[in-house]
Structure 1
Amino acid sequence: MFSFFKKKPKPAETPQIESPAPAQSAPEAIPPAVEPQIETTIAAAPAPIEPVSAAPAATPAAAVEAAPLKKMSWTERLKAGLAKTRDKLGKQLAGLFGGGKIDEELYEELETVLLTADMGMDATVHLLQDVRERVSLKGLKDSSELKGALKDSLQDLIGPLQMPLNVEGKKPFVIMMTGVNGAGKTTSIGKLAKYYQSQGKSVLLAAGDTFRAAAREQLIAWGERNNVTVIAQQGGDSAAVCYDAIQAAIARGIDIVLADTAGRLPTQLHLMEEIKKVKRVIQKALPDAPHEVVLVLDANIGQNTVNQVKAFDDALGLTGLILTKLDGTAKGGVIAAIAKQRPIPLRFIGVGESIDDLRPFDSRDYIDALFE
C-alpha cells in the first residue's frame, strides 16, 4: 500500500508522502498487477522540503536573477550556457580562421584546439580527416574557409544524436532515469515533468532513489512545484517503489511515469546489479516497459562521461542521454566524443538552473552556439 503527494494542501498543513506498506525484500516476486489502493495522509512536512517547494514566494534575489532568463529565447540561453566552451574554443579558432594558407601546421594547431575543447582523441582524429577531405574536394585554399568545413564535419558527426523522444503510443510511457549522484538526475526529472506537462501530458513521479532521504524529499518538492503526484516510501526498495508507481499510473490513466533510481558509480558492480533488478521489476509491472532508459550526465566531468555511457549502456541498454550543466563548463565538446564512441541519442541538454533550461537537443543550434 502506498500513498501519493498532491499540491493543494489543507490550510496550515503541508501534505507528505507516507507508505505504511512494509519494505519488499524480494521485489522480483511481486504478485500480478492489481489496481493499487491509495491513501492520503496529512502531516507536517519535513523541513528540507520547505525551501525547495516555496517557489511562489521566491526571495527578492532569486526573483531578480530569474527575470532576465524569462526574456531570453532558448537560442540566447544556449549561447550563454556554452559561453565558457565557446570562449575557450573561439579564441583559439579565431587565429586559425583569420586568413592564410591551409597547411600541415594549421592542421596541427586545429588538432590541439579540438583536444582542448574536450572532443577526445577519436573524435578529433575523425574530424581532422573529414575536414582534410572537404578541403581537398572543394579546393579550399584559405584558412578563412576552414570554419565552414569544420562546422559541416561536426554536424555530420553529432547530427545523428538528435533524435527527439517520442512518448506517443504507450500509456503509461515509462522513463527510467539513471546516473551517478550529483549528475543532476533528480533535478532533470522535475524539469522533464514540467516539459511534458506543457505538452498537455499527465505525469507521475516515482521516488525510486530510496538510498538517500534527501533525494526522496527533493523529488517530493518538485512534485509539489509542478502539482504532480509522487509515489514514495519511507525507506523500502527502489524496485518496489517503481512497481507501485506504474500500477498507480495504470489505474489512473497517467500518460508518463518518470522513475528515479539510486545514483551509483559504474565501478560499484553490486549496485549496478541492483539497478538491473529495478529494470526487471518494471518489466513485471508493465511487460514492454521501461520504454526509455535515460542516463543523466554531468558535462563538467568531460571525457569521464564517455566511460559512464559505456558502463550504463552495457548494464541496462540505454536508449537516451541527458547532458546537464553545460553552462558551468568549458568541456561542451564532449558531445563529439560521445557521438564517436557510443552514439546513443542525446534527448535533452541543460544549460541553467531554470525549470525551462532543459530542452531537446538540436545539433545545429548547438554548433552555432559553439562557434558564433
Structure 2
Amino acid sequence: MTVLALIIVLAVVAVLVVGGGVGLLVRSRRRPKPPVQAPDAPVLTADEPPTTTEPEDPGTLDGVPPEVESPAPTTTIERPEGTESRLVRLRRRLAGSQGGLGRGLLALLSRDRVDEDTWEEIEDTLITADVGVGPTQELVARLRERLRVEGGSTASVADVLREELTTLVGRDADRSLGTTGADGGPGVVLVVGVNGTGKTTTVGKLARMLVAEDRRVLLGAADTFRAAATEQLSTWGERVGVEVVTGPEGGDPASVAFDAVRRGAEDGADVVLVDTAGRLQNKAGLMDELGKVKRVVEKQAPVTEVLLVLDATTGQNGMTQARVFAEVVDVTGIVLTKLDGSAKGGIVVAVQRELGVPVKLVGLGEGPDDLAPFDPDGFVAALLGETD
C-alpha cells in the first residue's frame, strides 16, 4: 500500500468517527426530558383520587393580620326629650326673654299712687307688647275695677295681675292636639304657614315630641316646590326612625299628602304629619291649592288637626296671614315659633283673639326639642319672671 492510499484510509476513518459522535449528540438532545415534580407534591397513581388541602391561614402569612371589612355605618336613632322636662326648661327660657312685660306691669301697679297717667303707661306697655288694642282695654278695665274694690299690698296686686293675665290668655281653652284618628285609622295633622316661619322645622320637632310619647309617626313631605324642604324633613325623620313619604320635585302636593295618609293607614301609624308648601297669603291660586290638599287627603281619612305656624317676631303683621289661612283651611290650632327672640309675649293673646282658636304649641329656640305644649299658667308665670 502506498503512502497516499494509507493517508486516504486514515482520513475516511476519521470522518466516520466524528460523524458518529455528532449523531449521538444530536439524538441525545432530541430525547424528551422527564417532568420535574415538586418536592412536596404527592405522587398520584391511577387508583388514587386527588386530595385537597386546607389553605393556609392568611393571618399567619408573614405575620401580617388579614384585612377585616368595616361594617356598614348605621344611623343612630335618637331618643327625644319628654314633655315634662321640655316645659320646665322652656318656661325658664321664656321667663328670661318675656319676663320684662309682667315685671313692668307689676311695677306700675305697685306705685303708691296709681293715677290716670299710670293707667296710660300700663296701656302703652300692653300695646307695645303686641297684646292688641281691644284686649288691652279689657284688661285695663278689669284691673282698675278689681284694684279699686280690693286694693291691698304688693302681694295682692301681683295675685290680681296674675289672675287677670291668665284670664286674658285663656285658661279654659282646649289646647290638646287632635292626633287620634277614627275607627282605628291614623290622626292626620296638616301643618300650614308661610315660608320662613319655621314650618318644616316645626313638623320635625313635633314628630320628635310624639315619638317621645311612644306614638308611631309618619311624615308626608308635600312641600314639593322646595327641594330643601323635602331633604330637611327626611333628615328629621331619620334621626328618630320615622318614615317620610316624598314625591318628585315640583309634583302634585295633594298626591303626596294622599299617599302619605294611605301609607300611614296601611302601616298602622298613629299619626301622619303633612308638611305643606309655604303659601304667600296674596296668591289666591296657591291658597286654593292648599284647600285642594285638604280635600284630597280627606278622601283617605279625616283631617284631625290643622296647625298654623306663625313667626312670633312678626307681631301684628302676622295677623293678615293668620286670617287668610283660617279662611282657606279651617285652622284648629296655632304654633308660635321664635317666641324667645325679639317677639312680644302679647302676640299670644292677639292671635287667639283674631282667629278664635288657641295657641297649642310654642317654639323657644333652635334645638331639636325646643317645642312644647302651650301652658297658660306657666306662660303667665314666665311673664311675671317666675322660673319655678
**TM > 0.5 fold call:** yes
> 2:226 aligned with 1:208, yes or no?
no
State the TM-score, normalizing by the size of structure 2.
0.74
Could you tell me which of 253, 259, 265 is aligned with 1:250? 265
* Structure 2 CA distance for aligned equivalents of residues 54 and 298 of structure 1: 31
* Structure 2 CA distance for aligned equivalents of residues 134 and 353 of structure 1: 41
Could you tell me which of 181, 188, 204 is aligned with 2:202? 188
1:102 Cα offset (Å)? 2.7
> 2:243 aligned with 1:229, yes or no?
yes
Instruction: Determine helix, strand or coil for the equivalent of 2:189.
Output: strand
Could you tell me which of 238, 243, 254 is aligned with 1:239? 254
| Cα distance per residue 1:71-111 (max 9 Å; x no partner) | x7633432323523323x25633541443123222211110
Could you tell me which of 332, 335, 356 is aligned with 1:319? 332
Q: Which has the higher Rg, Structure 1 or Structure 2?
A: 2
Residue 163 of structure 2 corresponds to 152
* Structure 2 CA distance for aligned equivalents of residues 94 and 154 of structure 1: 11
1:276 Cα offset (Å)? 0.6
Residue 198 of structure 1 corresponds to 212
Residue 25 of structure 2 corresponds to none
| Cα distance per residue 1:234-282 (max 9 Å; x no partner) | 2211000000111111111111000010001212211101101111111
2:336/2:359 contact within 8 Å kept: yes
Which amino acid counterpart does residue 230 of structure 1 have in structure 2? V
Which amino acid counterpart does residue 297 of structure 1 have in structure 2? L
* Structure 1 CA distance for aligned equivalents of residues 383 and 202 of structure 2: 23
1:82/1:327 contact within 8 Å kept: no
> 2:332 aligned with 1:332, yes or no?
no
* Structure 1 CA distance for aligned equivalents of residues 150 and 299 of structure 2: 59
Q: Greater shift after overlay, 272-281 or 334-343?
A: 334-343
1:306 Cα offset (Å)? 2.4
Instruction: Determine helix, strand or coil for the equivalent of 1:126.
Output: helix
1:102/1:141 contact within 8 Å kept: no
Q: Greater shift after overlay, 167-176 or 190-199?
A: 167-176
Distance 1:293-1:248 versus aligned 2 partners, 3 A rule: same
Distance 1:82-1:241 versus aligned 2 partners, 3 A rule: farther
1:322 Cα offset (Å)? 0.8
Distance 1:318-1:103 versus aligned 2 partners, 3 A rule: same
* Structure 2 CA distance for aligned equivalents of residues 79 and 309 of structure 1: 28
> 2:114 aligned with 1:99, yes or no?
no
Structure 2, unpaired ranges of 5+: 1-69
**Runs of 4+ more than 6 Å apart:** 53-56
Distance 1:115-1:147 versus aligned 2 partners, 3 A rule: farther
Residue 130 of structure 1 corresponds to 142
> 2:179 aligned with 1:164, yes or no?
no
1:130 Cα offset (Å)? 1.8
State the TM-score, normalizing by the size of structure 1.
0.77
Which amino acid counterpart does residue 173 of structure 1 have in structure 2? G
Structure 1, unpaired ranges of 5+: 1-9, 15-52, 57-69
2:205/2:369 contact within 8 Å kept: yes
1:11 Cα offset (Å)? 5.9
Instruction: Determine helix, strand or coil for the equivalent of 1:174.
Output: strand
Which amino acid counterpart does residue 206 of structure 2 have in structure 1? L
2:94/2:364 contact within 8 Å kept: yes
| Cα distance per residue 1:333-353 (max 9 Å; x no partner) | 111112323221211111112
Distance 1:145-1:103 versus aligned 2 partners, 3 A rule: farther
* Structure 2 CA distance for aligned equivalents of residues 336 and 311 of structure 1: 18
2:77/2:238 contact within 8 Å kept: no
* Superposition CA RMSD, Å: 2.8
1:330 Cα offset (Å)? 3.8
Instruction: Determine helix, strand or coil for the equivalent of 1:259.
Output: strand
Distance 1:55-1:81 versus aligned 2 partners, 3 A rule: farther
Which amino acid counterpart does residue 323 of structure 2 have in structure 1? K
> 2:288 aligned with 1:276, yes or no?
no
1:198 Cα offset (Å)? 1.4
Distance 1:276-1:343 versus aligned 2 partners, 3 A rule: same
Residue 40 of structure 1 corresponds to none
| Cα distance per residue 1:134-174 (max 9 Å; x no partner) | 223x4316677443323211211212445221433532100
State how 1:58-137 maps to structure 2 within 5 Å: 74-87=87-100, 89-90=101-102, 92-93=104-105, 95-136=107-148
Aligned length: 311
1:364 Cα offset (Å)? 0.3
Share of identical aligned residues, percent? 40
* Structure 2 CA distance for aligned equivalents of residues 256 and 233 of structure 1: 19
Residue 296 of structure 1 corresponds to 309
State how 1:46-57 maps to structure 2 within 5 Å: none
Distance 1:90-1:259 versus aligned 2 partners, 3 A rule: same
1:207/1:232 contact within 8 Å kept: yes
